[in-house]
Structure 1
Amino acid sequence: MDVVERWIVLSNRRPMITAGIVAVIVAAFGVISLRFEQRGARPGDDTLAAALIVVASSASLVIKRVRPWWTLALTLAGAVGYTCYSGVFNAAATLPLLVCLGTIASIFPARVAIVTTAATCCFLTIVGIVVGPDWLLVERIGLVGWPLVGAIIGGLTKARNRYVTAVQTRAQLATALYEQEMAQRVMAERLRMSRDIHDVVAHHLATLNLQIGTARHLLDKPDTAAQALAGMHANSEAALREIKGLVRLLREEDAGADGPLPGLDDIGRLVSWARTNGVDTNSLVRGTPRPTTPDVELAAYRVVQEALTNAVKHAHGSHVRITLVYRPTTLLIEVENPLLTATDSATGGLGLAGMAERVRAAGGQLDVDSAGGTFRVAVELPLEVREPV
């Protein structure tokens, strides 16, 4: 904060103190300036009466903030009184009036300041004509010009204060908007991570549940039970690996050795997993496959993963058909399976809610239908070709 800003802050907090300081400075400068040589080689004024007039006029500046019109009357009276008393022009006598008009211009609307300044200058002009018919032209101009300069300085000060206030307001608004945007981003990221964790955990725990049940019924067949235990081990490792990847994203680290997040190219792995877990799954691709943005890739993968997980849990032994249709600007994904039981997706569980949130976040649309004994999930996602790096 510079000196001017500190002075403005002090003026707003302690107006009487700053006004008193200004009054003392103006009185000191006024008394000293009275002694300076004037135009036309006229000597300065060192009389006690002149000094008292200037000091009294300056003293009224103490109330310039709380009683500006009284201050105007007193400072104008001081300038006119000195002019009539001495019969000559001295700029030092108009110094308190200059400060008073500057204050009025800085605290009142422009129309009020202009009218006040114009009326004061007209009155001083009449005084100059009456009192000093033999004055130099520069003296007549000075009698009016010095108060006018004060009003101009006050107007500029007011404009500067408004500009500073506007800049500060914009900065505060920008900070508030930035904080709000950051809070929204944090919330969106938390929702996205919750969807990821739900998808990963639900997918792998469903598989582990089936494999544990299988192992319990095959305890008398060690070889088959060993295969089920090996599958559980593989699924637990996959779950830990994907959760580790999600935690890594929360820490804003690179993909590293664990590789990128899954996408469209990994749907074949989901199909193999579903077949291994007793669900006859076929996939069909129409159109020309092409890469798209990472959020769309991940959304497509998670939708298929959630649909197959529900099929493994609630439609074991049935047939699931996955269709991917690449259109010019969109990707259509359909997953269909017989509706053997009331699935959590059909009843609006967390799986469907997370799927819908993920699809909306990627800019797509989700449609779930269970009519005709077939549970159908249809997702349409925007298909934007990634620019080559």
Structure 2
Amino acid sequence: MPADLRASVARSLPAHRRPALWRLLDRLVAVVYGLPLTAYALVQDRPAAAVGMVAVTAALAERRRCPIVVLAVSVVLAPFSAPLWVGCTSWASALYLVAERRRLRVSLAALAVALLPAAVVPLGGSRLDAAGLSLLVLLLLVPVAAWTVGRAVWQKRRYAAAVRARHAAADAAHREQARRAVAEAERAVAQERLRLARELHDVISHTLSVVTVQASFGSLVFADRPELAREALTVVETAGREASGQLRRLLGVLRNDVGADRLLAPGLGGLDRLVADTARAGVTVGVCVTGDPRALPPGLDLTAYRIVQEALTNIVRHANTTAGTVIVHYGPDELTIEVTDPGRGTSAAEGGGHGLVGMRERVALHDGRVTAAPLPGRGFRVFARLPLGPGRADVAA
């Protein structure tokens, strides 16, 4: 048993000090036990035996405080102060407490001491007739039974204390693990938010550039070509609505205004390059595009690309396979992405990764849904559903 667990068990073991009521009960039992035997010795005109029985009675009254002393007094005095078949119960009661409370070596030594009075029968010159043999068996059986019961109680208490200590240690470890998991999740979310802010910077910059150019153009042709100015204002209005939708959706997620270097925001148009990179990593990916492919808003296109990228990265890192499938379906009102592999059905989340955390946050920004779970039998599946529609404002991922 490890030292720290052994210390916990020692602290968990119940104290052997009993309330005053138990001590009073011990004294009453000692008096009830010793008073008749003392009177019997006086009737038999054996004052030395009566004095010895008084000493045994006084010792038994305090047997819970010092059971080893009580055992020694009982073994020395009781055989000469009372009949052996009655006196053996005095040292047996003390032996029980020694076995219940002390280490095995101490309790075995106490058992050996408690068995010494049994030698009085064969060494005392008495014949081992039926009565002598019964007495010998009694002097051997009673101490052994008391010691066995005491050790059983000791083992039960120690086992219960060890279980409590293990549960306490497990609870502490679980709380620490939960605290670390929360800290890691918060750190992963914070990092993902920073990445979202950097990628959003490009989309917003592009939108504002369009607004600036079209507004400048509209002011130049306003007088001579009003129809062109009207078209420019329509473009400005559309771009402004898109930027407003981006900011409205992301202000609830991003806490700080983070500046960063300009990043290239890829989309599903770069899927072939992503598949080629994955093939160079050892995984051959089949791509199937169905429905009515069309240009997507920049933020949504980036989210779709990142979903495929993260799913393929998980295949390379965790699936232990050389194949995968990507299915992209352009529906009338939604875009669905399904990435599957025939690997061992393990995701990055099971290994402590944070990719799925960022994937879910990206999809949530577009009011979409994503699921990632093992397939029946073998393999893993990532499925994302992203709403589409002409009236939906885009949001950068």
Report the TM-score, using the length of structure 1 for normalisation: 0.54
| Equivalent residue, structure 2, for 1:288 | 286
Shift of 1:90: 3.5
Aligned residue identity for 1:106: E
Aligned residue identity for 1:81: F
Structure 1 residues 75-114: aligned runs within 5 Å: 75-83=74-82, 88-91=83-86, 93-114=87-108
SS, match of residue 289 in structure 1: strand
| Equivalent residue, structure 1, for 2:232 | 224
| Equivalent residue, structure 2, for 1:20 | 23
Q: Percent identity?
A: 16
Q: Do 1:16 and 1:63's aligned partners in 2 also have CA atoms closer than 8 Å?
A: no
Does 2:274 match 1:237?
Answer: no
Distance 1:203 1:388, change over 3 A: closer
Aligned residue identity for 2:109: V
SS, match of residue 182 in structure 1: helix
Does 2:183 match 1:187?
Answer: yes
| Equivalent residue, structure 2, for 1:59 | 58
**For this pair of structures, how many residues does the alignment match?**
274
Aligned residue identity for 2:59: S
Distance 1:62 1:34, change over 3 A: closer
Kindly indicate whether structure 1 or structure 2 has the higher relative contact order, using CA contacts under 8 Å at least 6 residues apart: 2
Cα deviation 1:182-218 (Å, max 9, x = unaligned)? 1222123212322333333333343223323442454
Q: Do 1:61 and 1:71's aligned partners in 2 also have CA atoms closer than 8 Å?
A: yes
Q: Do 1:27 and 1:54's aligned partners in 2 also have CA atoms closer than 8 Å?
A: no
| Equivalent residue, structure 2, for 1:301 | 306
Q: Do 1:72 and 1:101's aligned partners in 2 also have CA atoms closer than 8 Å?
A: yes
SS, match of residue 287 in structure 2: coil
| Equivalent residue, structure 2, for 1:126 | 119
Q: Do 1:31 and 1:54's aligned partners in 2 also have CA atoms closer than 8 Å?
A: yes
Distance 1:199 1:388, change over 3 A: closer
Distance 1:131 1:236 in 2: 112
Shift of 1:100: 1.2
Cα deviation 1:90-121 (Å, max 9, x = unaligned)? 33x33231121112223333233223312331
Q: Do 2:215 and 2:236's aligned partners in 1 also have CA atoms closer than 8 Å?
A: no
Distance 1:53 1:19, change over 3 A: farther
Shift of 1:147: 2.2
Distance 2:308 2:15 in 1: 62
Q: Do 1:68 and 1:104's aligned partners in 2 also have CA atoms closer than 8 Å?
A: yes
Shift of 1:142: 1.6
Cα deviation 1:227-263 (Å, max 9, x = unaligned)? 24423432442565577799xxxxxxxxxxxxxxxxx
Aligned residue identity for 2:101: I
Report the TM-score, using the length of structure 2 for normalisation: 0.53
Distance 2:55 2:136 in 1: 24
RMSD value, Cα: 5.0
- Return 5+ residue gaps in structure 2 as ranges: 1-10, 219-228, 255-264, 277-284, 289-302, 325-348, 357-377, 384-397
Shift of 1:124: 0.5
**Larger CA deviation: 228-237 vs 15-24:** 15-24
- Return 5+ residue gaps in structure 1 as ranges: 1-7, 36-43, 247-268, 273-280, 291-297, 306-324, 332-356, 365-383
Aligned residue identity for 1:361: G
Distance 1:209 1:142 in 2: 99
Distance 1:174 1:360, change over 3 A: closer
